[in-house]
Amino acid sequence: MQKEGYFKPISKYNLKGSDELIIKEREIPIRILKIQTLLDRVTLPPEKRVILEGELKSRLAGYYGEKAIDYYLRKLPKNDYCILHSLRLKMNSDYFQIDTLLLTDKYALIIEVKNLAGELFIDVNCNQLIQTTPDGEVKGYQNPVQQAKYQKQDLEKVFKTKVIHLPVEYLVTISKPSTILKTNSKYAISKMIHAQYLIEEIERLNMKYHIVIHEQNAVKKMAKMLLKLHCRETYDVLKANQLTQEDVQKGVRCTDCGHTPMQRKHGTWKCPNCCKIDINAHVKAVEDYFLLFDSPLTNQKFREFTYMDSEQTASRLLKKMNLPHSGNGRSRVYYSLY
């Protein structure tokens, strides 16, 4: 049995003969993990740190907003629906991402989630979403209804290439019940709902599309096909911020106070700052390595990054992490699961 804290995939699929509602679990976006790791391990100019912290906060809000609708989706009968979260597909040379895709035997539903507070106004004349925050700040965003419509068009193209015959609907779901929605378009407002009304909207679509097009087993096969088409995002966070590997602080980082490096003593890791003892603290260091560096990990690189001396100890710790690998002995190379 894998110990808590040891390396695990960031997503979970239910494929083989499963009757689970969720076929593809929601993933923490890779950019969130990479930006957080960058902030933890790189000394940045104050103005740059503020920008990255703002981006991280915004992306986390989006992720938590997506997770907020899961409460309602879990109420759906598991035998009637297949749900794929965080689905990233390729169309020609471009990629598009769907927050949540609901597959049924009658239709497919794209759910685009927004986690924005205050008042939202969709101006179809400018094709823009204007947010007035609770403290009065005005912000502009891409029109989410138009964004979801583009996703619909791209998904229809994917369906056509894979001979999937399902009509595609789309909705923009607002996760905060206190958010006020306004627009100068009846059509736009018909495509936006608060999360607590999501089940009612799905029931309305069930009445609209009352003719069964596919058997449920066929729907699950479609879900499996889409999973095979899913592409994880690649993002070089160092390059994007004009940084190099030399800018990254090495060492095992304390899981309590954040001090780097922890010291290897008597078969465990000890923080010289807060005296925290953590036998598995190196696991997070390996995760940080893979998130920041676009390269496989060797025993030597592991020792250099964690300030370890013993090749045998390093080999033992790496083997326990159950990482994908190739080769044996000193030629063994470990690969990221991200």
Please tell me the pTM assigned to this model.
0.88
Amino acid, res. 114:
K
**Whole-Å CA distances, 67 to 62, 195, 276:** 9, 11, 32
Per-residue pLDDT at 33? 96
Q: How does residue 9 score in pLDDT terms, banded at 50, 70 and 90?
A: very low
Is cis: bond before 261, omega within 30 of 0? yes
Return the SS3 of 265.
strand
Tokens of 141: 């965003």
Alpha helices (runs of H) in 177-262, residue ranges in sequence order = 186-190, 198-208, 216-229, 237-240
Residue 211 Ramachandran class (φ > 0 left, ψ -120 to 50 alpha, else beta):
beta
- What is the per-residue pLDDT across 98-153, written as a single tens digit (0 to 9) for each? 999 999 999 999 999 999 999 999 999 999 999 999 999 999 999 999 999 999 99
Of the ranges 2-6, 54-58, 187-191, which one carries the lowest mean pLDDT score? Answer: 2-6
- What is the per-residue pLDDT across 66-112, written as a single tens digit (0 to 9) for each? 999 999 999 999 889 999 999 999 988 899 999 999 999 999 999 99
- What is the per-residue pLDDT across 260-277, written as a single tens digit (0 to 9) for each? 999 999 999 999 999 999
Q: How does residue 2 score in pLDDT terms, banded at 50, 70 and 90?
A: very low
Tokens of 116: 């924005």
Per-residue pLDDT at 338? 78
CA distance 142 to 275: 48
Residue 329 Ramachandran class (φ > 0 left, ψ -120 to 50 alpha, else beta):
left
Per-residue pLDDT at 311? 95
- What is the per-residue pLDDT across 14-35, written as a single tens digit (0 to 9) for each? 444 344 788 999 989 999 999 9
CA distance 207 to 125: 32
Mean pLDDT of 186-191: 92
Q: What are phi and psi of 123, to 5 degrees?
A: -95, 105
CA distance 168 to 155: 8
